[in-house]
Amino acid sequence: MAYVDFLTTIHKKTHRDYLARVNEYPKAKAAELAKEFDFDYWDGDRKVGYGGFAYDGRWRKVADQMSKHYNLKPGDKVLDVGCGKGFLLFDLTQSVPGIEVTGLDISKYAIDHAKEEIKPSLIHGHANSLPWANDSFDLVISINTFHNLHNYDLDRALIEFQRVGKKHKYICVESYRNEVEKANLLYWQLTCEAFCTPQEWNWWFEKTGYDGDHSFIYFE
């Protein structure tokens, strides 16, 4: 298991006013709306989610890095658990023409409003029960999803994630290394359920037998 960072450059491009996040709109109400993973979360007001999650090509850089790092080639099968609107999967098909991509997300809204080219490859479902056989995919990825699970679902989801990947695996989750980053994470997040330090995430990985790559997003 290796630490491989594909996401920090994208994460740091966003300016975050942490205090405004908790003062401009009732945080509990924002979280309630966000956790429906419906219009408000994806395309509603920024106070309760993305504020409009539209394709802008920003994931192509990540797709190119992943394709190179994992030596993806035509015919390889890739699964994204928590794929959202499928933007990264689409960019992977552009980076490596001929790969087979599949996505799963808890949000039916996201799938219904996914990028048209990729929509037929996406299904509605939960990370704790993946409807594929063992070793079905050459690369399984999950970005900013597993920290949204309660412990009982997180345990099963990591086991499932490990089960369906026969070769490469990559997980990125939010974490914190100190009290400042913990406070910022609490201020900013809307859907997080598992608040873990890197050491705690590594404990989860070891407990569930996860042997793939990973990285953490910090709110500095």
pLDDT at 37 over 90: yes
pLDDT at 15 over 90: no
Query: Nearest Cα to 84, choosing from 64, 55, 61?
Result: 55
Cα separation, 195 vs 175, whole angstroms: 7
User: 73: helix, coil or strand?
Assistant: coil
**What pLDDT does 151 receive?**
97
Torsion over CA: 67, 68, 69, 74 (sign)? positive
Cα separation, 213 vs 220, whole angstroms: 22
Cα separation, 114 vs 39, whole angstroms: 13
pLDDT at 1 over 90: no
What radius of gyration, in Å, describes the C-alpha atoms of the chain? 17
**What pLDDT does 12 receive?**
83
CA angle 85, 218, 207 (to 5 degrees): 85
Q: Which two tokens mark 114?
A: 């996914």
Q: Which two tokens mark 122?
A: 């996406």
Contacts of 77 (CB under 8 A, 6+ apart): 99, 100, 101, 102, 136, 137, 138, 139
pTM over 0.85: yes
CATH superfamily of 8-44+57-217: Vaccinia Virus protein VP39 (3.40.50.150)
**What pLDDT does 134 receive?**
98
Query: Nearest Cα to 6, choosing from 206, 143, 179, 163?
Result: 143
The mean pLDDT value for 209-213 works out to 98
**Phi, psi angles (nearest 5°) of residue 8:** -60, -40
pLDDT at 181 over 90: yes
**Phi, psi angles (nearest 5°) of residue 123:** -130, 155
**What pLDDT does 9 receive?**
84
* Helix and strand totals (H; E) in the chain: 10, 6
pLDDT digits (tens, 9 = 90+) for 65-123: 999 999 999 999 999 999 999 999 999 999 999 999 999 999 999 999 999 999 999 99
Distances (CA, A) of 95 to 92, 102, 122, 171: 5, 15, 19, 20
Q: What are the extents of the domains in the chain?
A: 8-44+57-217
**What pLDDT does 63 receive?**
98
Query: Nearest Cα to 190, choosing from 42, 11, 7, 5?
Result: 42
